[in-house]
Amino acid sequence: MNVVIVYAHPYDGSFCKGLLDTVSSRLQSRGANVKVKDLVKMNFDPVMRPDDLKATKTKVYSDEVKQEQADVLWADAIVTIAPVWFAAMPGFMKAYFDKVFITGFAYDHTGVGKLQGKRVFSLFTNGVNDPFLEMSRQYDAIHYVMDCLFGMTGFIDVATKFFASVPTVTDEQRKQYLAEAVEFVDQIFDRQPGEIGQKGHCALLTKLVVKGYLNGAV
C-alpha cells in the first residue's frame, strides 16, 4: 500500500503536526510505504505561473509539479492534513491540487477522471465547534470542494474527518482525537476500495454533462 500524505501547516507546535506524526507512524506500522509532502518545508510554489496553466495544453510541467504527479500516480491513497481556514483548506494546499491535478493530467474532457480507483482520507482541524460549523455550512463548503476535486479526477473513496475546537479542548480530548485519527486512517486497510464512496455526485454529473445529458446536447 502506497500512501502520500499532503500536509499543510506552517509550524511544528500545531495539533496538525501531532496528527501528521501519529498518522504517518500508524500507516507505516501497518505496512504502508509513506511519502510526506510538507508543503511549507518543501517550499512548494503555490502560484499558478503562466507555464503551469499552459500545461493544460502543452502537457509540459515544471520539475516540481512533475515530481508531485509521479508521486500521486504512485499512491494508492492520499491522506490530507490541514487546519480549516475560512471554511476551506488553506490556500496553499488548494494551490497544490490546482497545480498537480491540472486539466489533462488528473482529468480531461472525456468525463472519466484519470486517477481512477484512488482513495483520499482528509483530516481537518477546526477552531470552533457545532452548532457554528453546521449552521455556517462549513462542513458543506469543504465537502463540495472535496467532491469536485477528487470526484472529477476518479477517486472512489472521499472520506473526511473534522476535529472541533482544537485550540481550546483539553489534553485528554486531544489524545482522544489522535486515537480517532488512527481509527480513521485504519479504514485504508480495513475497508474495501469503493466501500466509503463520496458525499456528492460530482463524478457522475461530470460524466452526464460530457455525454450531453445535462447540457442539452442529447
Residues binding ligand FMN (CB under 6 A): 9, 14-16, 83-87, 125-128, 138, 166-167
End-to-end CA distance of the chain: 42
Q: How far is the CB of 189 from ligand FMN (least distance, A)?
A: 25
45 vs 92 by CB, closer to ligand FMN? 92
HEC-encoded secondary structure of 89-157? CCHHHHHHHHHHCCECCCECCCCCCCCCCCEEEEEEECCCCCCHHHHCCHHHHHHHHHHHHHHCCCCCE
Q: Which is nearer to ligand FMN, 63 or 172 (CB)?
A: 172
Minimal distance in Å, beta carbon 84 to ligand FMN?
4
- Report the residue closest to ligand FMN, judged by CB: 127
* CB contact set of 181 (below 8 Å; sequence gap of 6+): 19, 22, 23, 123, 161, 163
Q: Which is nearer to ligand FMN, 91 or 193 (CB)?
A: 91
Residues whose CB falls within 8 Å of the CB of residue 49, separated by 6 or more in sequence, listed in order: 62
**Toward ligand FMN, which CB reaches closer, 8 or 188?**
8
Question: Is 120 or 123 the residue whose CB approaches ligand FMN more closely?
Answer: 123
Compute the least distance from the CB of residue 54 to ligand FMN, in Å. 31
Kindly state the smallest distance separating residue 109's Cβ from ligand FMN, in Å. 34
Q: Shortest Cβ distance from residue 104 to ligand FMN (Å)?
A: 32
What is the helix (H) or strand (E) element at residue 79, kind and residue range?
strand 77-83
- Please name the amino acid found at residue 142: I
Residue 90, all three cell numbers: 488553506
Closest CA to 193 of 119, 112, 115, 113: 119
Q: Which is nearer to ligand FMN, 27 or 84 (CB)?
A: 84
Residue 127 CB, shortest distance to ligand FMN, in Å, is 3
State the minimum distance, in angstroms, from the CB of residue 83 to ligand FMN.
3
Select 72 or 84, whichever has its Cβ closest to ligand FMN: 84
In angstroms, the CA 92 to CA 191 distance is 30
The grid coordinates of residue 146 equal 472535496
